[in-house]
Amino acid sequence: MYYLCKDCIYTDFFMAKKDNNDFSIIDDLGLSADINEQRHQVIPIIAGNDDDTIESVELPEVLPILTLRSSVLFPGAITPITVGREKSIALVRAVQADNGLLGAVLQRNAEIETPTPDDMYRIGTAARILKILEMPNGNLTVILSGLEKIEVGEYISTEPFFKARVTPLLDATPDKNSVEFDALVESIRDVALNIINTSPSMPKEASFAIKNIDSHRGIVNFICSNLDFSDDDRQMLLEAPGLLARSRKLLEILIREQQLLEIKQDIQGKVKQEIDKQQRDYYLQQQMRTIQQELGEDEDGDIARLREAAKDKKWSDATKAMFEKELSKLERLNPAVAEYSVQMTYLQLVVDLPWEEYTEDNLDLKCAREQLDADHFGLEEVKERILEHLAVIKLKGDLKSPIICLYGPPGVGKTSLGKSVATALGRKFGRIALGGLHDEAEIRGHRRTYIGAMPGRIIETIKRCGSSNPVIILDEVDKLTVSNHGDPSSALLEVLDPEQNTTFHDNYLDMEYDLSKVLFIATANDISAVNPALRDRMELINIPGYILEDKVEIAERHLVHKQCETHGLSDEQMVVDRDMMRKIISEYTRESGVRSLDKHLAKLARARAKSIAFEEEFSPAFTAEEITKILGKPKFLNDEYEIKDMVGVVTGLAWTQVGGDILYIESILTPGKGKLSLTGSLGDVMKESATIAYEWVKAHYKEYGINEEVFEKFDLNIHVPEGATPKDGPSAGITMITSIMSTYTGRKVKERIAMTGETTLRGRVLPIGGVKEKILAAKRAGIHTILLPEENRKDVEEITADYIEGLTFHYVRTNEQVLELALE
């Protein structure tokens, strides 16, 4: 047997010293602790040079099985194995005391601390223990000599260690005269030597062993044992059916490893060349700069372009001084370093910004009104505010731009209105989507010390617009969110404060920029979700929604023509008259805006385009049958008033994010003990309103002729239909009182009457919000009479007469007035 270590060979546990490639026996001392201390340098070597010298042993039917965590033992190889698990230590000591034979099997996952039979491969190697070395840490190092390949069958015991039935698997040996096998072995030897000589991690003494092993079997198994392969590859080599198959697979793996090694060396060489090139370029750049300075040509093309662009800038002295400082810093940088491109990007932004560059406002007020009217139907309050702004500019010549916030349900034209304002003013237009924004740096920018730093969206939009007085839409300002990266709504406080935005500071720009001439228009659906401090800085304009007539006008003026253009139709090929438009609006949409209406018109346009493409006959005007066929059955018939001559059912008015809606409050008495139950997915506030209404009715039962015993013998159930839809808010208070009183007294609710208002235990009716949206919902549903709190009278007076035409309003202060007006 041979054991090779850095500069020593051990022969049958005799140590031989290498001296000028000659070996002489030094001492009979076995594998000493000194060698074990350097076991990472020990290379297991084949037991002999001839195939016949491998120990032939008659294996017993059952062998102890030693699980190997990350090593594969090959027949004929001598390998040191570190044993640390208690079960493995017990196995080694028991085997040493017996015949010294065991089976060495690799476990499939090295991370498993206590493997089971299913966690181990079925093919392993029978081995004999040659030597056991006690380690200082309590582990054992066992020198194993591989005998022959085995297949592990049934495990007959697992304690105190594994024992299993094994079947010897003899590796088929090719014919000694096989030319193919000889060629394979020589190729394996050459490639292995090349890998050892090339790889810095392989000990060079291994090449000595490879050169001196004459046995074909020995050389193959030695290389399988010692070269740096994965455990999966080693196991696959061990399981190969015969020596020829193993040799083929080994050559394939060696060639793959050689190619990987060559690629690694190539990459390392390129990196070294790149570093050398950078050093060379830096040296040449320094020389070039010195020559240019001598010739008076010390500016390269990029710096020259920046200086040329800076000449025409209308910036302040402080901005100019900062630019010159940053430019001089750029000149001192080597263009090959990463910081050069960062500095160049920053300076490019500085010269691209429109410092004190403004577009001239169009002060023709009549023209501006015509533009606003042409783009949007209605929205008179917004248009008047814009025209007022233009009028002051025309008279005074200068005015800080107002901060306008348009709030209302989706689809009413808040965002598109900003573009119309920009067109009317003759200004550039920019839009910033704030929905879901959670990082303060998106507004103020990142500091340039961070990798990948960028300016904030405000500065980026102004740069894109190319002027310092654009119209910028801050879309969905109520959708800003707070995170660990800061509060974007707080960052907007500086942007939207006319007293502060003259000196807006962007972290990336690191200079003050004047935003006072920018006309900011914010949009929101739910104004209550906006930061109160931010809300205080804006001029709020409510856009509640459109009535049916408004939607018909918008569809005829804008939407139908838009869909014709989008789908390649002429206006004559798609005609939707007013009656059909009313049918679409009332039966297929339920919204304050026109977004859903636009989608349905697009569906009609696609159907008409299909008819034209298939050369089918059609009438330009859509009929009711065609609309039903294309859009399907009507979807929204249930918001029509549908109660009549009913006790305990009252129509209430509600506000939602998509506009107003009607809802029914129902109550009924059932035999019980006077318990109040609430159903319909009600929120806490609405439950409290129901409790207040119930207690108020109980407190005033004598005034309305209610028998006192009814409160003790009957339970009251209050239900709000559409139970899957969550509902909350205090404005259903008077509606619940009316429903409860109707149920207890048996008096019917007057026909086509609706109401909304909060109530108190004292019977006062408090004001509510969303008045216009609720009135529009009532009108859509065919309501004729509406009860509102007295303090909401001013809200109704601000509504255009067209919106409330055909409606009768009663303003109430107390619950008694409500019941007098609502009950028959």
- The pairing of beta strand 785-789 with beta strand 753-755: parallel
Give tens-digit pLDDT for 163-173.
Answer: 898 888 887 77
Query: Kind and range of the H or E element at 27?
Result: strand 22-28
Q: Which two tokens stand for residue 65?
A: 């099985």
Give tens-digit pLDDT for 395-413.
Answer: 876 666 678 888 888 888 8
Q: How far apart are CA 438 and CA 279, in angstroms?
A: 44
Contact 133, 38 (CB under 8 A): no
Beta strands in 495-569 (DSSP E): 504-505, 512-513, 519-524, 539-542
Give tens-digit pLDDT for 687-696.
Answer: 999 999 999 9
Q: Could you tell me which of 276, 114, 123, 265 has the C-alpha nearest to residue 199?
A: 265
In the numeric block, the tokens 């965590």 are attached to 69
Q: Could you tell me which of 4, 1, 151 has the C-alpha nearest to residue 76?
A: 1
Long-range contacts of 109-114 (CB under 8 A, 24+ apart): 110/69, 110/70, 110/231, 113/85, 114/87
pLDDT, the chain, mean = 80
- Look up residue 644 and give its DSSP letter: -
Contact 471, 430 (CB under 8 A): yes
Q: Could you tell me which of 824, 646, 647, 650 has the C-alpha nearest to residue 721?
A: 650
What residues are labeled active site?
A: 731, 774
Computed on alpha carbons and rounded to an integer, the radius of gyration of the chain in Å comes to 45
Contact 416, 429 (CB under 8 A): no
pLDDT of residue 453: 83
pTM for the whole thing? 0.54
Provide, rounded to the nearest whole percent, the portion of the chain with pLDDT above 90.
Answer: 11
Give tens-digit pLDDT for 730-739.
Answer: 888 999 999 9
In the numeric block, the tokens 């139709």 are attached to 569
Give tens-digit pLDDT for 243-288.
Answer: 888 888 888 888 888 888 888 877 877 777 766 776 776 777 677 6
| CB within 8 Å of 136: residues ≥ 6 apart | none
Give tens-digit pLDDT for 647-703.
Answer: 889 999 987 766 678 888 999 999 988 899 999 888 888 999 999 999 999 999 888
10 Å CB burial of residue 273 (0-12, 13-18, 19+) is exposed
Side chain identity at 612, as an amino acid letter? I
Q: How far apart are CA 732 and CA 728, in angstroms?
A: 9
pLDDT of residue 288: 67
Name the CA dihedral angle for 776, 777, 783, 784, rounded to a multiple of 10 degrees.
-20
Q: Could you tell me which of 389, 376, 375, 366 has the C-alpha nearest to residue 520?
A: 389
Contact 778, 769 (CB under 8 A): no
What Å distances lie between residue 805 and 41, 185, 745, 776, CA to CA? 99, 102, 34, 11
Range of lowest pLDDT (349-363, 443-457, 638-652, 715-729): 638-652
Say yes or no to pLDDT of 56 above 80: no
Q: How far apart are CA 254 and CA 210, in angstroms?
A: 14
pLDDT of residue 755: 93
| CB within 8 Å of 179: residues ≥ 6 apart | none
- Look up residue 355 and give its DSSP letter: T
Kindly state the average pLDDT of the residues 86-101. Answer: 85
- The pairing of beta strand 78-83 with beta strand 101-106: unpaired
| CB within 8 Å of 292: residues ≥ 6 apart | 298, 299
